[in-house]
């Protein structure tokens, strides 16, 4: 008879590693606001600009909003999510006890956003950041017609579809996966380009591009077939062209409980039913 060795327990965090300055941010839901009140009373609450850790209370959507705020404020503060939503792929369990000690044992994942530059029919230009994906989608009953360029080269003169999306590795398990795109590990330095309900070419399933790729969409027949562009939750309607590239100059850090890193979750998702 053989016995498996018992794994050693993780080392306890030292006092200097335990954060004392925590900022809580809550989604505008009853459950998130309830947890915000409880946690703020117990651990205190300070401005995000002065915090060692930002704790985000909500679901994946609010986590993306929080990360965008961190980027826009120019903060380097890591963000730890506690799930008050439904899926919670980017979140950790809602456990109130010993929160500072748990924060001291977390593991970090660094994410780089996509930067979208969209031009509307009116000539107006808009920029937005996306940590999940940028997608284009038809606004009417008629299919969209898109020309796809990669690094200045036309790769697809005409894609007839409901839309198309470019995802980050972190976002590859979200809309991209639902559209039958590939899951990409964080270390892969790849961006999945995935069509949404392609009609012509019908059998095109998309492409895996290097993270340095510059992807451009030109909307063909944009007056007849209007298209919207969406960077996470920011929507720009009636676009004529959209340019997307990963912005490596920007980084956000997301914290996960031990053994539940984002890389592990992405790997596990590939074996789920």
Whole-number pLDDT of residue 1: 46
Spatial separation of the C-alpha atoms in residues 214 and 67, rounded to whole Å: 23
Virtual torsion, Cα 90, 106, 168, 134, nearest 10 deg: 50
Give the mean pLDDT of 247-262: 91
Whole-number pLDDT of residue 36: 96
State pLDDT tens for residues 67-80: 999 998 999 999 99
DSSP state of 116: E
Residue 185, pLDDT above cutoff 90: no
DSSP state of 97: T
Superfamily assignment of 114-246 in CATH? Answer: Probable inorganic polyphosphate/atp-NAD kinase; domain 2 (2.60.200.30)
Element (H, E) at 54: strand 53-58
Give the mean pLDDT of 181-189: 88
Residue among 88, 84, 45 at smallest CA distance from 256: 88
Secondary structure (3-state) at 40: helix
State pLDDT tens for residues 100-114: 999 999 999 999 999
- Kindly state the percentage of the chain with pLDDT values over 90: 79
* CATH of segment(s) 15-111+251-269: 3.40.50.10330
Residue 13, pLDDT above cutoff 60: no
- Kindly state the percentage of the chain with pLDDT values over 70: 94
The binding site comprises 60-61, 132-133, 162, 170, 173-178
For the entire predicted model, the pTM comes to: 0.85
Task: Domain ranges for the chain, please list them.
Answer: 15-111+251-269, 114-246
Give the mean pLDDT of 48-73: 93
The binding site for NAD(+) comprises 60-61, 132-133, 162, 170, 173-178
Residue 55, pLDDT above cutoff 90: yes
Give the mean pLDDT of 175-193: 91
Residue 25, pLDDT above cutoff 50: yes
Q: Buried b / exposed e across 70-80, counting CB within 10 Å, b at 16+?
A: bbeeebebbbb
Instruction: List active site positions.
Output: 60
Spatial separation of the C-alpha atoms in residues 130 and 23, rounded to whole Å: 23
Q: For residue 92, what are the β-bridge partners?
A: 82
Give the mean pLDDT of 157-171: 95
């Amino acid at each position: 008879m053989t016995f498996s060795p018992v794994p050693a327990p993780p080392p306890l965090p030292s006092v200097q590693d335990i954060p004392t300055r925590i900022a809580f941010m809550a989604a505008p839901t009853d459950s998130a606001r309830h947890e915000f009140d409880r946690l703020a009373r117990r651990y205190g609450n300070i401005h995000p600009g002065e915090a060692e850790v930002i704790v985000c209370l909500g679901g994946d959507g609010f986590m993306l909003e929080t990360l965008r705020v961190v980027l826009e404020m120019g903060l380097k503060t890591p963000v730890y999510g506690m799930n008050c939503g439904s899926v919670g792929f980017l979140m950790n369990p809602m456990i109130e006890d010993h929160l500072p000690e748990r924060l001291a044992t977390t593991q970090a994942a660094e994410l780089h956003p996509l930067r979208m530059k969209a031009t509307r029919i009116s000539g107006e230009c808009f920029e937005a950041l996306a940590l999940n994906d940028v997608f284009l989608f038809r606004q009417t009953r008629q299919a969209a017609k898109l020309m796809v360029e990669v690094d200045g080269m036309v790769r697809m003169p005409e894609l007839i579809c409901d839309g198309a999306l470019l995802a980050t590795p972190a976002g590859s398990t979200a809309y991209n996966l639902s559209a039958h795109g590939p899951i990409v590990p964080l270390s892969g330095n790849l961006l999945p380009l995935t069509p949404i309900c392609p009609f012509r070419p019908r059998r095109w399933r998309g492409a895996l591009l290097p993270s340095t790729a510059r992807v451009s969409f030109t909307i063909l027949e944009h007056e007849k077939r209007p298209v919207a562009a969406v960077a996470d939750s920011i929507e720009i309607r009636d676009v004529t062209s959209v340019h997307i590239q990963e912005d490596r100059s920007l980084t956000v850090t997301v914290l996960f409980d031990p053994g539940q890193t984002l890389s592990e979750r992405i790997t596990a998702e590939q074996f789920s039913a």
